[in-house]
Structure 1
Amino acid sequence: MNVSHNGRTASFTAGVDLPSGTGPFPAVVVLGGLGADTATIKAAGAAVISYDPLAVGREGTPRTNKQGAFYTLYGTSSGTGLLAAWAWGVSRIIDVIEQSGGSVLRADATGVTGCSRYGKGAFVVGAFDQRIALTMPIESGSGGVAAFRSVPGEGGAQPLSSTYSEQPWLGDAFGSFTGSPARLPVDTHSVVGMIAPRGLFIMDNPHIDWLAARSASVGALGGAEVYKALGAGGNITYWSAVQDGTHCATRSEWRTPLQQSIQRFLLNTGSYTGSMRIASNKSGNLAEWRDWTTPTLPDGGTDTTAPSTPGAPAASAVTATGATLTWAASTDQGGSGLAGYDVHHEQGATDPRLGQSTTDSITLTGLTANTRYQVYVRARDGAGNLSASSPAVTFTTTGTGGDTSPPTAPTGLSASATTATGTTLTWTAATDDDGVTGYDILRATGTAFTQIDTSPTTTYTDTGLTPNTTYRYQVRARDAAGNTSPVSNTAQLTTQPGTSTGTCTATGTVQTQWSTGYGVQPLTITNPSTVTITGWTVTFTLPAGHTLAGSWNGTVTTNGQTVTIRNVAHNGTIAAGASNSSAGFQVNRPSGNTSTPSGYTCA
């Protein structure tokens, strides 16, 4: 993402991991990578967008000198807190999706999630960008979903003064309210109301007092009244009744409602209805806090009747990549007015939406040549009610004409001459009846391969790599007609360790503790030298009986109680005199043992 404002420019990146199947896909933006059940997200049919909020708003900085892409544009002394800056970054990601043409990701079906500090961020993202169809904060704690007015009275909860001072998450103006939240003109139920009536799935942990789950239930229950007033009470879920008390764990209790929420709000399939599953030991009482009653809104909240079923669509003007559909119009039957139609491709467990229309016709684009489509239509009214599915129409897109035979797959892909920042790939040529015109170069550092370049020959040199990082490569052939071959075998390599002429230091900050564990965030790497370093390795010792439970933004190995964390691709380079605070980790420990790691070294 490259952004310009008033003559200033800033940039940051995000990664995309696609699910199996044929796109375009909905997507869930994962803030920080901590605690999100990405396997379930992908299994539900959504892509995962990995977003590092610290590149946009960095932690560990004073309020008078905030850093990151947002503050590069709007000033290091901006009163805007990190949570709002992180939300700005997600909005820019959606801008890019909207501009990309919709062939891979759908701009009208984006969700957001994150845990702990990133749960606070996800909550704010959903409130500030109406394009977010599903918001899923996890264990967001004080400064997140937890009702500000309730936090001071909840034993063991992180105080608002601590939340404000720990990191510049909240805006500077919040400082005057930390000791007197009753003076605030709003509370977190108002933020929930900003998300309504869109999908909201709040996940919480009742086992760690610091996370203020009782106050979070108050915020959720208050916000749920807004959903009820809008006639969308089934669009909100709050779930803290869980067995595992580990902070930011992937929990089995949330797996099914997570998948069903994605299917309903991002794929527009299924009929999942939200509910309140509040742990008995952290159940808040909304009646203690509200002095208002839930209104019945005249323009919403009463229409629960779906429109009539549209007529069977008819297909015309079918080409290799498009088709025009028309159908008999639906009628509104509940008083909120007919809002439009959703057009779906019927293909099994999930039926992706191909497009939307406000009239009784649509011209579809971006279809795949020589492909059979079975398409149906559903009507929507102003209250969000969906009609039954129309009868389906079946049509097959035409061929591209001429050559439709792909080349054979390249073979024998291998890497050689690998250095700290580059490698050379070679492979055996593919064959094609009309001749191979070039090769696509695919690369992955995680599970998803992304095309990075092309080559007209059977060799390619990749440069600008990160030291001490594992990369995987594939290649595929193309012919003159645009047909592509299956991918080659996978070649895997690890770049050499970088040669650093500087030094570094490491400091671990214990952010959160509970009886059986704690989280260290951030693990701050500082470069005190006068030259840039291009990689770092931190080593430290866990106390006896402590075990590593998870980590983020670092590659981890353990040997007994010794833990080694190395940089990943996006956080290895640190300028002279600068710091990076993106890495962190979580530890399990015997109950009552308050020891923490020691002996941090950095090289």
Structure 2
Amino acid sequence: MLVALAVAALTVAGSVSVVARTTTAQAAADVLAAAAVEDEGADCAVSGLPDLGSLPTNAKLPDPFKKLNGATITAKSDWRCRRAEIKELAEKFVFGEKPAKPATVTGTVSTTNITVNVSHNGRSSSFSARVELPSGTGPFPAVVVVGGFGADTATIRAAGAAVISYDPLAVGREGTPRNNKQGAFYSIYGSSSSTGLLAAWGWGVSRIIDVIEQSGTTILKSDAMGVTGCSRYGKGAFAIGVFDQRIALTMPIESGSAGVPIFRGIPGEGAQSLSSAYGEQPWLGDEFGSFTGSPNRLPVDTHEMVAMVAPRGLFIMDNPHIANLGPRSASVAALGGAEVYKALGAGDNITYWSDVQDGSHCANRPEWRTPLQNNIRKFLLKTGNEPGAIRIHSKALGRLADWRDWQTPALADGPTTPPPTTPPPTTPPPTTPPPTTPPPTTPPPTTPPPTTPPPTTPPPTGGGCTATVSVNQWAGGFVAAVRVTAGTTPINGWTVTMTLPSGAGITNIWSANRSGTTGTVQFTNVAYNGSIGPGQSTEFGYQGTGTGAGTSPTCSAA
């Protein structure tokens, strides 16, 4: 049962927690639009960042309203620069730096593909993404689907939004050591960059948006962008929406440790440990290694990253049936971030939904279909105004009161546009009239852009295909992500053969067909992912019981 409340309070009825509706229709309309720039607070002067050695231990969640100087913000207009402080903390201690737009970003947008070419400080890289348009006449809003699976793409397209299939591993590759990271991001900023993969993946989506903006938005709308992903790609979708304010709707699914769940709650919940998440892949920045055993020393936590999305649309989907995913800690992050949404008058713009019956990892759930459609209409199509809600399953119900010792202030209304950042002069203007000599008419010299195209990474040598597998294991179960890569020639179908460990069994699968559930299993492509271009990849996955480690996949092309 969903109840609309007129007061700022949270109630729980059975397995449902309902967030207060605190905005009028006009106020809600005022906070729907995404920002026009990647980082609205880039001009805020952030000072007083703590040093690693001086961090105190605090078991409670940091106060998102308290500035680095100890003062509490008092107006909604103060949030812009407070968000900039949280961003700096998140980059320094959690994700690593996400650099601003490079010197040169070019590319193309077609009805089927987006290409991105980047040059910065004498280095270049490039990558691409596939586009699937809905029926009708554009330009269309678009949802970036990270890694090939996230929210139901059929529902997204049926609602009237395009789907951009983004391969994050082309920008930040998994399976690499921290001192030798690979991908388009690290080709620009160096293989020893301390920035983790999640921030790098976010940088890649920001460059896609740059190209869409520059294309004239005749096919896709750059001001109506969403992002979604599940599991490891749910972590990525969350980070993408956190760091680029041009994303109007962020939709992470079952993101687990290093995603939405609060870091402080993970050790007590039995979720994938922080040391495991940090060591499995270089998702997080190098500096986070200092906190895997002591998250209470972190001066920032994920409820503040939820808040960084405010007042834009946020729809968090979670699975209460797998403790390894940290759903209780994720609900606390959502509840904590929702306090900022409410303080900004945007309480209707956040939804957290773990009240689902099916426990399969990354399944398309009927409970999410209607809120998914509502969020797309509201934030991307701008044709709806359905209120968000927080619905938490009783199996994974977190209590914000257990985690905070701060209160939510009543923020005063501020100006709708930020004030100028340059202070007016404090000295009188000069009394001497300006010189009357005309300025020079010779234009300044310009340097022509380089004509040499950026280097591209050659595809794997040889024909056929290869397959690699990555396993996320917990007590009694696991999820495996399998990546299929074509060689130097295109393929039009593939078969991956794997022998599961003794006692392991498949309970759920996505983006592939399977010949069985135990022993030696053959996985074959489905209709939409059998054709792979030279050097390109697709991915499928499966959930199982028992132990998933130790498998060695082989791939054959049709």
Pick the TM interval, shorter chain: 0.5 to 0.7
Aligned mate of 1:36, from 151, 166, 173: 151
Contact 2:303–2:337 (8 Å) recurs in 1: yes
Separation in 2 of the partners of 1:507 and 1:234? Answer: 42
Task: Describe the superposition over 1:186-216 as per-residue Cα deviations: whole angstroms up to 9, x where unpaired.
Answer: 1001101110000000000000111000000
Matching of residue 59 in structure 1 with residue 17 in structure 2: no
Structure 1 residues 483-494: aligned runs within 5 Å: none
What is the aligned partner in structure 1 of residue 59 from structure 2? none
1:511 aligned to 2:472?
yes
State which of 230, 234, 239 in structure 2 corresponds to 1:119. 234
Could you say if the C-alpha distance between residues 525 and 260 of structure 1 is closer, same or farther in structure 2, counting changes exceeding 3 Å? closer
CA contact (8 A) 1:134 1:200 kept: yes
CA shift for structure 1 position 521: 2.7
- 1:520 aligned to which of 453, 461, 480: 480
SS of the aligned residue for 2:228 comes to strand
What are the equivalent positions in structure 2 for 1:280-429 lying under 5 Å apart?
280-299=394-413
- Per the alignment, in what secondary structure is the counterpart of residue 148 of structure 2? coil
Q: CA contact under 8 A between 1:237 and 1:275: conserved in structure 2?
A: yes
Q: Distance in 1 between the 2:306 and 2:194 partners?
A: 23
With 532-541 and 107-116 compared, the bigger mean Cα shift is at: 532-541
Counterpart secondary structure, 2:348:
helix
Say yes or no: does 1:87 pair with 2:48: no
Residues 161-200 of structure 1 correspond to what in structure 2 (within 5 A)?
161-200=275-314
What is the aligned partner in structure 2 of residue 72 from structure 1? Answer: 187
1:143 maps onto 2:258 in alignment = yes
Equivalence for 2:118: 3
Counterparts in 2 of 1:230 and 1:182: CA distance versus 1, 3 Å = same
Alpha-carbon separation, structure 1, partners of 2:416 and 2:329: 38
Task: State how 1:95-134 maps to structure 2 within 5 Å.
Answer: 95-134=210-249
| Structure 1 match to 2:34 | none
Inter-partner Cα distance in structure 1 for 2:295 and 2:544: 34
TM-score (structure 2 length as normaliser): 0.65
Where do 5+ consecutive residues of structure 2 fail to align?
A: 1-115, 419-458
Q: Which residue of 1 aligns with 2:336?
A: 222
Matched, 1:541 2:499: yes
CA pair 111-524 structure 1, distance change in 2 beyond 3 A: closer
CA deviation after TM superposition for structure 1 residue 597, in Å: 7.9
- The question of 1:15 aligning with 2:137 is answered no
Alpha-carbon distance, 1:152 to partner: 1.1
Aligned residue in 2 for 1:267 = 381
Aligned CA distance change for structure 1 residues 53 and 255 (closer, same or farther; 3 Å): same
Give, in angstroms, the shift of residue 268 of structure 1: 1.1
CA distance in 2, matches of 1:594, 1:166: 16
> Within 2, Cα distance between the matches of 1:269 and 1:514?
45
CA spacing shift, 1:35–1:337, aligned 2, 3 Å? closer
Letter in 2 for 1:563: Q
- SS of equivalent residue, structure 1 residue 20: coil
**Aligned-pair CA distance for 1:499:** 10
Cα contact 2:349–2:387 (8 A) shared by 1: yes
Compared with structure 1, are the counterparts of its residues 126 and 506 closer, same or farther at alpha carbon in structure 2 (3 Å cutoff)? closer
**Deviation sequence 1:230-286 (CA, Å, 0-9, x none):** 010110000001000000000000000000001001111112101110011111111
Would you say the 8 A contact 1:506–1:526 is kept in 2? no
The answer (yes or no) to whether the contact 2:251–2:314 under 8 Å persists in 1 is: yes
Q: What whole-Å deviation, never above 9, does each CA across 1:567-598 have from its counterpart, x for those lacking one?
A: 96557539xxxxx8x64420445xxx557785
AA matched with 1:540 = M
| Offset, 1:559 | 7.0
Equivalent residues in 2 for 1:438-517, closer than 5 Å: 500=462, 508-513=469-474, 515=476
**Aligned counterpart, 1:585:** 541
Q: 1:114 to 1:505 in 2, by over 3 A?
A: closer
Cα distance in 2 between the residues matched to 1:147 and 1:272: 28
Question: Aligned residue for 1:240?
Answer: 354
> Within 1, Cα distance between the matches of 2:466 and 2:121?
37
CA distance in 1, matches of 2:373, 2:290: 41
Mapped contact 1:112–1:132 kept (Cα < 8 A): yes
What is the one-letter code of the residue matched to 2:300? V
Give the structure with higher Rg (CA): 1
Q: Provide the rounded CA distance (Å) in 1 between the counterparts of 2:334 and 2:286.
A: 25
Which one has the bigger helix percentage? 2
Letter of the structure 2 residue corresponding to residue 131 of structure 1: R
Pick closer, same or farther for the CA change 1:196–1:540 going to 2, 3 Å.
same
Structure showing the higher strand proportion among its residues: 1
Q: Deviations over 1:151-174 (max 9, x none)?
A: 1111x2111111100100000011
What is the CA–CA distance in structure 2 between the aligned matches of 1:244 and 1:10, rounded to whole Å? 42
Amino acid across the alignment from 1:510: V
For residues 524 and 178 of structure 1, what CA distance do their matches in structure 2 show?
32
Q: Which has the higher contact order (CA 8 A, sep 6+)?
A: 2
Q: Which residue of 2 aligns with 1:573?
A: 535
1:438 aligned residue: none
Give me the whole-angstrom Cα distance separating, in 2, the residues matched to 1:28 and 1:276.
Answer: 22
Structure-2 change in CA distance of 1:526 and 1:177 (3 Å): farther
Is the contact between residue 81 and residue 168 of structure 1 (CA under 8 Å) also seen in structure 2?
yes
CA separation in 1, counterparts of 2:367 and 2:151? 14
Per the TM alignment, residue 518 of structure 1 is displaced from its structure 2 partner at its CA by: 3.0
Q: 1:2 to 1:570 in 2, by over 3 A?
A: farther
Q: Distance in 2 between matches of 1:13 and 1:525?
A: 15
CA distance in 2, matches of 1:596, 1:79: 28
| 1:330-369 deviation line (CA, Å, top 9, x unaligned) | xxxxxx6699xxxxxxxxxxxxxxxxxxxxxxxxxxxxxx
In the alignment, is the contact (CA less than 8 A) between 2:231 and 2:362 conserved in 1? yes
Cα distance between partner residues in 2 of 1:568 and 1:73: 32
SS in structure 2 at match of 1:13: strand
Match of 1:601 in 2: 554
Shift of 1:20: 1.0
Measured in 2, the distance between the counterparts of 1:599 and 1:197 equals 45
* Residues 260 and 272 in structure 1, CA contact (< 8 A), matched pair in contact too: yes
Question: Residues 497 and 553 of structure 2 are in contact (CA less than 8 Å); yes or no, is this contact kept in structure 1?
Answer: yes
- Give the counterpart letter for 1:212 in structure 2: G
Give distance in 2, aligned partners of 1:163 and 1:275: 29
1:563 equivalent to 2:525? Answer no
> Taking structure 1 as the reference length, what is the TM-score of the superposition?
0.60
- The one-letter code of the counterpart of 2:138 is G
Structure 1 residue 557 displacement after superposition: 5.9
Q: Secondary structure at the match of 1:12?
A: strand
CA distance in 2, matches of 1:221, 1:537: 44
Question: Which residue of 2 is the match for residue 342 of structure 1?
Answer: none
Shift of 1:512: 3.6
Which residue identity is paired with 1:539? T
Q: Are the equivalent residues in 1 in contact too, given 2:229–2:253 (CA < 8 A)?
A: yes
Distance 1:289 1:198 in 2: 25
CA–CA distance in structure 1, aligned partners of residues 486 and 219 of structure 2: 39
* Root-mean-square deviation over aligned CA pairs: 3.1
Structure 1: runs of 5 or more not aligned: 301-335, 340-466, 468-497, 575-579
Identity value in percent: 64
The alpha-carbon distance between structure 1 residues 232 and 547, as it changes in their structure 2 partners (threshold 3 A), is same
- Compared CA separation, residues 62 and 571, structure 1 to 2 (3 A): farther
Name the amino acid aligned to 1:17: E
How many aligned positions are there?
394
Letter in 2 for 1:153: G
- In structure 2, C-alpha distance between the alignment counterparts of 1:99 and 1:75, rounded to whole Å: 27
Is the Cα–Cα contact under 8 Å of residues 64 and 77 in structure 1 kept in the other structure?
Answer: yes
Q: Deviations over 1:24-60 (max 9, x none)?
A: 1100000011242001111111111100100000000
Looking at structure 1, the residues matched to 375 and 468 of structure 2 have their Cα atoms a distance apart, in angstroms, of: 39
State whether structure 2 residue 365 is matched by structure 1 residue 251: yes
SS in 2 for 1:266: helix
The residue type paired with residue 329 of structure 2 is S
